[in-house]
């Protein structure tokens, strides 16, 4: 499988322009602790160094961290938080990727005024430790994995940093249930569920995407999943989540 990634270059005199992409095979994507990551420049250079720095981030007690699996409403919830914090019901560009922990230079985050509206798709074990030690606020957003799969598929066709090339839905479906970027939905959510159980004193608000009262399409998976794919996914969900208490709505 081939992916688009942001172009890297050792030529400091003629560096690639922002947004320039190149095509690389999956084995060249950054991998750390068994997880495949998108081709963000800092991760492509040295994923271990970058993600260790994220884990050791100097958090602030008034930071707000939105933690969600990809395509689960991170940007949407970030916009809502930004409006609440600013007291203004208007769109803000700051609520997009500017405070995305694994993609942005951490020295830039250090310059951001408080309260910082941070966000990440990293699994719980890779998130800033001090954030939880300080009991800073965290919002964990959960979306039903079938809609995540369809949204992820659309995203993968166009995003420079994680777009798989020319995959059909059937091909992507098999990849999604096996091992996509950031790991599977099942591993991500089970890790978060265990973290909440093992650390009852951390400050976490759990939101379900389907419960948020703004107009968004849900249930689009029905337009993509075949009967066979749906049956296979239901069996996998039952196996992977048999001990979970998550209340997922497959609308």
**Residues catalogued as catalytic:** 121
Encoded tokens for 187: 């591993």
- Give the Cα separation of 234 and 193 in Å (integer): 20
Task: Give SS3 for 122.
Answer: coil
| DSSP string across 143-210 | --HHHHHHHHHHHHTT-TTTPBSS--HHHHHHHHHH--TT--HHHHHHHHHHHHHH-TTS-EEEEEGG
Residue 114's alpha-carbon distances to 16, 43, 100, 147, 249, in angstroms, are 33, 26, 15, 34, 35
Contact 249, 148 (CB under 8 A): no
Q: Provide the 3-class DSSP secondary structure of residue 211.
A: helix
């Amino acid at each position: 499988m081939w992916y688009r990634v942001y172009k890297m270059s050792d030529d400091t005199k003629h560096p690639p322009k922002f947004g320039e992409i190149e095509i690389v095979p999956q084995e060249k994507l950054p991998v750390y602790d068994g997880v495949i990551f998108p081709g963000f420049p800092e991760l492509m250079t040295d994923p271990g160094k970058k993600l260790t720095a994220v884990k050791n981030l100097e958090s602030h007690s008034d930071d707000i961290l939105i933690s969600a699996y990809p395509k689960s409403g991170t940007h949407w919830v970030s916009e809502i938080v930004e409006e609440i914090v600013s007291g203004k019901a208007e769109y803000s560009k700051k609520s997009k990727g500017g405070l995305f922990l694994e993609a942005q230079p951490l020295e830039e985050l250090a310059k951001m005024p408080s309260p910082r509206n941070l966000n990440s798709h990293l699994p719980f074990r890779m998130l800033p430790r001090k954030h939880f030690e300080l009991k800073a606020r965290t919002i964990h957003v959960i979306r039903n994995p079938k809609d995540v799969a369809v949204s992820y598929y659309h995203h993968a066709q166009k995003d420079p940093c994680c777009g798989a090339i020319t995959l059909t839905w059937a091909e992507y479906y098999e990849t999604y249930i096996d091992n996509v970027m950031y790991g599977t939905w099942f591993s991500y959510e089970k890790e978060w569920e265990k973290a909440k159980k093992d650390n009852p004193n951390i400050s976490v608000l759990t939101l379900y995407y389907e419960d948020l009262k703004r107009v968004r399409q849900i249930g689009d998976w029905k337009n993509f999943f075949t009967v066979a794919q749906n049956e296979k996914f239901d069996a996998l969900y039952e196996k992977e989540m048999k001990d979970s208490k998550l209340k997922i709505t497959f609308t």
